[in-house]
Each structure stands twice: as structure tokens, then as C-alpha cells.
């Protein structure tokens, strides 16, 4: 699939001009145009030969009001145009009219053509007949005024068309990006199904067959049963992940609850871990937080099985001060050097940290004073800025 075209220089320049300044509602373009209008209005206000109002101070006050109105040139272009024409009559300021006509052409939504026509019919003779005109014949002044009015209208219509083109281009770019992501998700789902699905199904098949081999010891049958159950559960989880990849709907894998932790701990006990599990937390909690707690316990117990399979392990899940805290702590392995060699990419804890941080929480994975290891995830239930609380 062809990748979407990147924004060109003009689009980047336009986006920079139309970006709000700080936390205000005004863009950089609004402030620049308001500054130009203020400069032109003040210059006309201090010129005694223009407009109908005598006195620099009253004219400067009118210029200030007209300039202030241009901060709303996009939200109320017609009102700004009326204000600019009033300023033209009072103090002869022509710059506000230029930008007001531009705003009418670019931002007026209803009856734009009629409003521009009527405004032009008023502005052209006003500009030609007010004091401070060119001093040529009335016809020449009218033609000059018509050209003066025509330029901002043409520029405004061009800016309106360009903005619509940018919106259409961005929508098309977002559509192409969404299609690219969907195609990549489907490809990943296909690869995961072909690679992992076959291997896990093979493990489940052999474990199931081992349970019924004559002469197998009862404890071996139990181990085979645990392997088979774990493989089948892994296949179910894999199908959920593949469904999310194909559809883009993450809700299909967010179905874990805090109550599921009991079964997760029971499965780890059946694998040979010595675990104590305590909790004061109960459903319902937000699904993404419950899933994060489940994945934290799951990944931490997986690491205990790999690195300290005979170590005493403690799992605690508690709600305190509006925060769900998940702690998995294991003692040092009683058999030094005993580890189960399992291939891993080492990204489990990185992924957990990202999950917790996205929910506004804190994550710590570190050795304990007695040589063991602990994982602590604290996620606020309501306030993302909730305070962290340490286990005592």
C-alpha cells in the first residue's frame, strides 16, 4: 500500500499559523492580523486629514475598539466587517476594512456572496468619497476602491478553498494511515496464528496424550494436566489477541477482572510455586486497571518461575487512598543457581511500566534487602495525579 504523503512546506506553514497560542483561543494568524490592523488604524487615527472625527485621542480610542474586534474575526466575520466600516467612517482607517473583507470571504458561512456584494457596494463609495482619498476624478477613485475591495475578497476565497483542501487532504491521509495500520494488524495476526498457534496446540496435544500413557506416575500426570490446561488457556488468550489485532477493538482483551487473580495464583501454585495471596480489592474497577493488575501479577509470577522457582512468593492487591496497588515479592531462591532456562526478550517489565504510566501510575521493579525481588505497581482509580503509597 502506498504510504500517505507527508505535509508539504505550505501545509506546515499554514498549520503553524492556525495553531492556538498557549491556552488561548486565538491563533498566531489572529494575533498577527490584529497587530497589522492596530498599526494601520493607529496611523490613520493620527492623520488629521482622514475620517469624520476630529481629534487624535477619540480617533485612537475608536481604532483600539476596531482592532480589539479583530480577535474574533473568524468567529464573527460579519460583526467585525460592520465594526471596520464604522471605523472607516469615523477615523478613515482603511486597513481594517481590507482584512474584514478577507474574513468575510474566508469565514462567513451563510449568505456569503450577498453579504460581500452589499459590503462592497457600501465600502467602495465610502473609500472614494471620504477625506484623504487620492484626489483624482470620482471615476478613478471608484475604480481604485473597487480594486482595493476586490483583492481581499479574492485572497479570502483562495484561503477558504485552500483550507478546505487541507481538511480533505488530512482526512484522506488519516484514512490511508488507518488502512495501513489495519493491514499491518492483519499481517501480525496471521503470523502469530501460524507460528504460535501451531506450537501451543502441539504442546496441548502432547500434554493431553501424556496423561493417558500407561504406567505414568500420578505426579507426572498432574504435571501433564497443568501443562495441557496452561497451553489451552494460552490458546484462548492468543485468539483474543488475534481478534483485537484483526478488528482493532481492544475491548476484546480487556475482559480481565480482579476476581481472575485467584485462578492465576492457583495456576502458579499448581506449577510448584509457594505463594501467599491476600487482597482487600474487589470488582468493579475500571477494566484497563484490572487488566493492568492482572498482567503485573502474571508477568511477575512468570519471572519467579523462571529465576527462582522454589522461592517463597507473596502477592498482595489492595486499594488504599484511591489507588490500586499490586505487589509481587519473592524471597531469594533456596537453591542457589537453580533457574529454568526459558527464552525471553526481556520486554515484559518494560511493557508493564508503559501500561502503568499510561494510566497515571508508578511502577517499580527492584531487588529487596534480603536478596529477593519485588514488583510494585500503583495505579490511581480516579485521579491520575493520585499520591503513591509504599507498602510497609
Residue 329 contacts by C-beta under 8 Å, 6 or more apart in sequence? 313, 314, 368, 372, 373, 374, 375
Nearest Cα to 265, choosing from 236, 309, 297, 299? 297
Burial 146-161 (b: 16+ CB within 10 A, else e): eebbeebbebbbebbe
pLDDT at 347: 63
Q: Pairing mode, if any, of strands 373-380 and 274-279?
A: unpaired
Q: Is 155 helix (H, G, I), strand (E, B) or coil?
A: helix
Q: Are 300 and 309 in contact (CB under 8 A)?
A: no
Burial of 51 (0-12, 13-18, 19+ CB in 10 A): buried
Determine which helix (DSSP H) or strand (DSSP E) holds 313, and give its type and residue range: strand 312-320
- CB 256: neighbour CB atoms within 10 A? 19
pLDDT < 50 regions, the chain: 340-345, 384-392
363 φ, ψ (degrees, to nearest 5): -135, 135
For residues 98 and 87, give the distance between their C-alpha atoms in angstroms, rounded to a whole number. Answer: 12
Angle at 186 between CA 185 and CA 192, to 5 degrees: 90
For residues 195 and 224, give the distance between their C-alpha atoms in angstroms, rounded to a whole number. Answer: 23
- Is the pTM here over 0.85, yes or no? no
For residues 302 and 347, give the distance between their C-alpha atoms in angstroms, rounded to a whole number. Answer: 13
Q: What is the DSSP string of 173-237?
A: HHHHHHHHHHHHHHHHHHHHIIIIIHHHHHHHHHHHHHTTSTT--HHHHHHHHHHHHHHHHHHHH
Amino acid at each position: 500500500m502506498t504510504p500517505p504523503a507527508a505535509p508539504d512546506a505550505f501545509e506546515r506553514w499554514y498549520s503553524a499559523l492556525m495553531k492556538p497560542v498557549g491556552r488561548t483561543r486565538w491563533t498566531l494568524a489572529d494575533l498577527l492580523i490584529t497587530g497589522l490592523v492596530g498599526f494601520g488604524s493607529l496611523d490613520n487615527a493620527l492623520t488629521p486629514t482622514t475620517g469624520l472625527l476630529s481629534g487624535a485621542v477619540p480617533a485612537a480610542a475608536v481604532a483600539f475598539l476596531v482592532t480589539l474586534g479583530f480577535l474574533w474575526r473568524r468567529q464573527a466575520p460579519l460583526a467585525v466587517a460592520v465594526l471596520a466600516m464604522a471605523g472607516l467612517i469615523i477615523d478613515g482607517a482603511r486597513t481594517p476594512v481590507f482584512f474584514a473583507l478577507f474574513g468575510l470571504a474566508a469565514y462567513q458561512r451563510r449568505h456569503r456572496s450577498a453579504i460581500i456584494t452589499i459590503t462592497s457596494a457600501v465600502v467602495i463609495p465610502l473609500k472614494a468619497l471620504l477625506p484623504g482619498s487620492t484626489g483624482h476624478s470620482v471615476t478613478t477613485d471608484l475604480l481604485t476602491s473597487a480594486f482595493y475591495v476586490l483583492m481581499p475578497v479574492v485572497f479570502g476565497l483562495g484561503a477558504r478553498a485552500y483550507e478546505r483542501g487541507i481538511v480533505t487532504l488530512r482526512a484522506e491521509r488519516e484514512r490511508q494511515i488507518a488502512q495501513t495500520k489495519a493491514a499491518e494488524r492483519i499481517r501480525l495476526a496471521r503470523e502469530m496464528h501460524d507460528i504460535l498457534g501451531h506450537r501451543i496446540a502441539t504442546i496441548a496435544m502432547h500434554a493431553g496424550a501424556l496423561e493417558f500413557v500407561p504406567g505414568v506416575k500420578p505426579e507426572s500426570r498432574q504435571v501433564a494436566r497443568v501443562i495441557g490446561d496452561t497451553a489451552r488457556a494460552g490458546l484462548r488468550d492468543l485468539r483474543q489477541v488475534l481478534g483485537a489485532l484483526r478488528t482493532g477493538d481492544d475491548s476484546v482483551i480487556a475482559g480481565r477482572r480482579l476476581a481472575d487473580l485467584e485462578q492465576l495464583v492457583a495456576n502458579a501454585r499448581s506449577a510448584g510455586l509457594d505463594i501467599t495471596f491476600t487482597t482487600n480489592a474487589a470488582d468493579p474497577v475500571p477494566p484497563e486497571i484490572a487488566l493492568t493488575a492482572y498482567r503485573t501479577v502474571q508477568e511477575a509470577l512468570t519471572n519467579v518461575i523462571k529465576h527462582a522457582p522454589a522461592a517463597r512468593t507473596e502477592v498482595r492487591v489492595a486499594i488504599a487512598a484511591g489507588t490500586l496497588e499490586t505487589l509481587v515479592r519473592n524471597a531469594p531462591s533456596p537453591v542457589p543457581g537453580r533457574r529454568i532456562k526459558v527464552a525471553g526478550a526481556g520486554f515484559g517489565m518494560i511493557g508493564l511500566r508503559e501500561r502503568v504510566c499510561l494510566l497515571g501510575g508508578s511502577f517499580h521493579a527492584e531487588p529487596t534487602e534480603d536478596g529477593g525481588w519485588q514488583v510494585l505497581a500503583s495505579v490511581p482509580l480516579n485521579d491520575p495525579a493520585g499520591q503513591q503509597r509504599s507498602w510497609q
